[in-house]
Amino acid sequence: MSNVLVTGGRGQLATCIGQVAHIDDDNRFIYTDYTDLNITEEKEVERFFEDTNIQFCINCAAYTAVDQAEAEPKKADLVNHIGTRNLATACKKHRATLIHISTDFVFDGLQSLPYNEEAATRPLGIYGASKLAGETAIIEILEQHYIIRTSWLYSNYGDNFMKTMLRLGQERDSLSVVCDQIGTPTYGIDLARMVLNVLSNSTNMYGIYHYSNEGVASWYDFSKAIFDISGVECHVTPIAGADFPTSAERPAFSVLDKTKVKRDFGIDIPYWRDSLKACLKK
């Protein structure tokens, strides 16, 4: 039985992993948040690995406040870059495999076709830059790694777009939602299953992988689907991103190409609306 460290243990994705991992009898999952393990402290990370005999680390810990990161670049870098580097260093020393969760924000959104793993990266803001720095650190330090880039994550847990829309839909008769930012929603349970697939089939196919649900949507499309499927009556008006200014610039197009992960791990990826229906049933 392998010991699997899951950082960011109280966050959205780690909670989803916990929901899926209960059927996994081959591994012992150890969930930590920053009070249990501060990944930004190198000696603390090393001590934890030494004491706990970690074979796999799933890094769900991240600074994800995209707009706030513009005002707090050092905090974003400390978690997303330095913390990730510390985990990679400990994994190398203890011969552990690192599964790291990254983001579509490493891209500038200027491409018109889905981004594959070899596409040029050019983050538009601090958050994306800090996540890319974390990716780079892993690649430089550790061979045994899987970097999984995902997008528009939602679930029944934590704070996310779906839950925000459901709350606002109950409070208001109408909403305006951006229609010119294009990507793909990703159901946390689906991503958790993919992560556990990588864990159970870990071979030497290390590197970067893209995962989101299938299909394409705007934030407007996503919000309309949330209300239509849930039966919430709320009128949604499409607006341009320029009419909804934010501190951090978002990529206008960040659809991910999943060809590689489907080929290497033989997985079927659900269509985003089907997964949204499954999530809302809960």
The residues annotated as belonging to the active site are 127
Of the candidates 76, 80, 85, which has an alpha carbon nearest to the alpha carbon of residue 140?
85
Question: How far is it, in rounded angstroms, from Cα 277 to Cα 56?
Answer: 32
* Residue located via tokens 């706990």: 52
CA-to-CA dists, residue 18 to 177, 182, 195, angstroms = 32, 30, 11
CA-to-CA dists, residue 179 to 152, 154, 171, 184, 237, angstroms = 14, 18, 22, 13, 9
Please state the φ and ψ torsions of residue 29, each to the nearest 5 degrees.
-95, 130
Of the candidates 126, 265, 99, 255, which has an alpha carbon nearest to the alpha carbon of residue 186?
255
CB distance 149 to 138 below 8 Å: no
Question: How far is it, in rounded angstroms, from Cα 182 to Cα 251?
Answer: 8
Please state the φ and ψ torsions of residue 275, each to the nearest 5 degrees.
-70, -35
Please state the φ and ψ torsions of residue 10, each to the nearest 5 degrees.
-105, 5
